[in-house]
Amino acid sequence: MDSKFEDGYKKYESKASEYMNDKEKANGLLKQAIHKANDKKSKLSEVWDKLQLLFEVFRAWIKGEYKEIPTRSIIMIIAGILYFVSPVDLVPDFIAGLGLVDDAAVIGFVLKSISKDLEKFKSWKEQEEST
């Protein structure tokens, strides 16, 4: 990831612990992220499925249904979602054509960083659905 994006991401990483310790606040963040994603769905088509998976693992963690994800990965998810919902990030969302580029870069960074944990979650989810 470009160092500009990494620096921007790190600012949100430090805020993530507030959400780790407050499930109600975390749920509010998730709702904000889902709302923004739905509003921008056509612009997020390339990462849509992976973004939905990120939301699913975060939702399952908030509800206490999925506890196997490492704390570090949850912090990365929360930081990525905070960056995504923030209107004041490296490239403001209102700039036509560019506003979601940095958001997508940060989400991509998070997805790549926790890919093994996401695979484990997908396996867990499939097992849960089959029982």
pLDDT tens for each residue of 101-118: 667 777 888 999 999 999
* Mean pLDDT value across the chain: 84
d(CA 11, CA 80): 10
**Does 56 score more than 90 pLDDT?**
yes
pLDDT given for residue 26 in this prediction: 96
pLDDT given for residue 104 in this prediction: 74
Which has more confidence, 26 or 9? 26
Give 42: exposed, middle or buried? Use CB within 10 Å, 0-12, 13-18, 19+. exposed
Q: What is the mean pLDDT of residues 17-44?
A: 92
Q: What is the mean pLDDT of residues 84-103?
A: 61
3-state DSSP helix/strand/coil % of the chain, to nearest 5: 75, 0, 25
Question: Cα 18 to chain center, whole Å?
Answer: 15
Judged by DSSP in three states, 64 sits in: coil
pLDDT given for residue 58 in this prediction: 97
pLDDT single digits (tens) 58-81: 999 999 999 999 999 999 999 999
Going by C-alpha positions, the residue among 84, 96, 16 that lies closest to residue 48 is: 84
pLDDT tier, 93 (very low <50, low <70, confident <90, very high otherwise): very low
